[in-house]
Amino acid sequence: MLMSTKPMFDLAYSGGFGVGAFNVNNMEITQAVMEACHAERSPVILQISKGARAYANIRFLKKIIDACVEEYPEVPIAIHCDHGDTVELIQQCIDDGYTSVMLDGSHHPYEENVAITRAAVDVAHEAGVVVEGELGMLGGIEEDVVGLDAEEYHKNIEQFLTDPEQARDFADRTQIDSLAVAIGTSHGAFKFKHEATLAFDRIENIMKTCPGLPLVMHGSSSVPQDLVKIVNANGGKLPGAMGVPEDQIARAVRTYGVCKVNIDTDLRLAMTAKIREVFTADPAEFDPRKYLGPARDSICELVKRKLQMLNSAGKTDEVVAHWNKEGQPLPAFYSRAGAGV
């Protein structure tokens, strides 16, 4: 069932859970995420980045997601543009049928970020699409998103975290529907040299200055060490890969107003670890079904674990009931029956 993120966030904000936002690039990843959400009865946000659009061709990704909507009609699904960087791209995503978009202007000076985000909001809200903005800076690198050097970032982290008073001004002037905040997370597999500690006091203060505004955590993959070990044991080279501890992510969504948690790196690790393991066990294997199938299963199990951690498992019926009760609108090109993308 296609919907915007609003009915999900309405419940998540005060309900002690977060919605997993999983980046999808191909059929196997998308199938794995959806099968896990179906099994765990969890709402889901399928994210398509600028890089994914270029890699897979949005026409193909749209058809894959269309198949997911038909195959899993009971699962609440939002289609989200991850790290959109121009109003033109936002318009393309809206035209392509996304139900949620992000305008990431965090790399611009503040006033420019306000202006470009507000322009995106005007375009999106006209079409009935919700908008996520970003304020503050993250470290690390992932796809087209180049953050600050990890060492520089964590040495001077206080100056890059989201300022609560500025967040109030940003939300008021842009009229965004959710806000991605910098609270100590970082992009990629090499996020930290030491175990991370999220700035929970900063989240709490943002909740005070922006009451009711759903918050989003980017750079939130936990980089499971069991997967890192499998990669390294089978010819990979990921020395020192480290992510955000799952207990801290769980605390952020269960205690604070974090409604959306972005996960991408962990999916890649699950897929790569299993493929490397298959090739090591049978170097003569060349049938893609024999390594992509197990890789898909590996991602599915990882996502199930994430949904339990986010406390979103079992929330499907609640989200659907709220959506039906509130009569949440979809963009004009959708029917309430949940027609495909």
Q: What is the pLDDT of residues 305-336, one digit of tens each?
A: 999 999 999 999 999 999 888 765 555 444 33
Residue bearing the bigger pLDDT, 146 or 215: 215
pLDDT of res. 220: 79
- For the cut 70, the answer to whether the pLDDT of residue 94 exceeds it is yes
What is the average per-residue pLDDT within 115-134? 97
What letter represents residue 202's amino acid? R
- For the cut 60, the answer to whether the pLDDT of residue 184 exceeds it is yes
- For the cut 50, the answer to whether the pLDDT of residue 134 exceeds it is yes
- For the cut 70, the answer to whether the pLDDT of residue 138 exceeds it is no
- For the cut 70, the answer to whether the pLDDT of residue 144 exceeds it is no
pLDDT of res. 330: 54
pLDDT of res. 240: 82
Radius of gyration of the chain (CA): 19
Mean pLDDT of the chain: 89
Question: Per-residue confidence at 165, pLDDT binned at 50, 70, 90?
Answer: very high
pLDDT of res. 193: 54
Q: Which domains does the chain show, CATH number per domain?
A: 6-326 (3.20.20.70)
- For the cut 70, the answer to whether the pLDDT of residue 186 exceeds it is no
What is the average per-residue pLDDT within 267-284? 98
Least confident span in 17-26, 61-70, 184-193: 184-193
pLDDT of res. 243: 85
- For the cut 60, the answer to whether the pLDDT of residue 24 exceeds it is yes
Of 10, 66, 82, 264, catalytic: 82
Residue bearing the bigger pLDDT, 78 or 325: 78
Query: Which residue from 59, 97, 53, 51 is spatially nearest to 78, judged by alpha carbons?
Result: 97
Question: Per-residue confidence at 86, pLDDT binned at 50, 70, 90?
Answer: very high
What is the average per-residue pLDDT within 101-118? 96
pLDDT of res. 327: 62
82 is annotated as an active-site residue: yes
179 half-sphere exposure, CB direction, 13 A CA radius: 32
pTM of the predicted model over 0.75: yes
- For the cut 90, the answer to whether the pLDDT of residue 3 exceeds it is yes
- pLDDT 10s digits, 43-77: 999 999 999 999 999 999 999 999 999 999 999 99
Question: Per-residue confidence at 239, pLDDT binned at 50, 70, 90?
Answer: confident
Question: Per-residue confidence at 146, pLDDT binned at 50, 70, 90?
Answer: very low
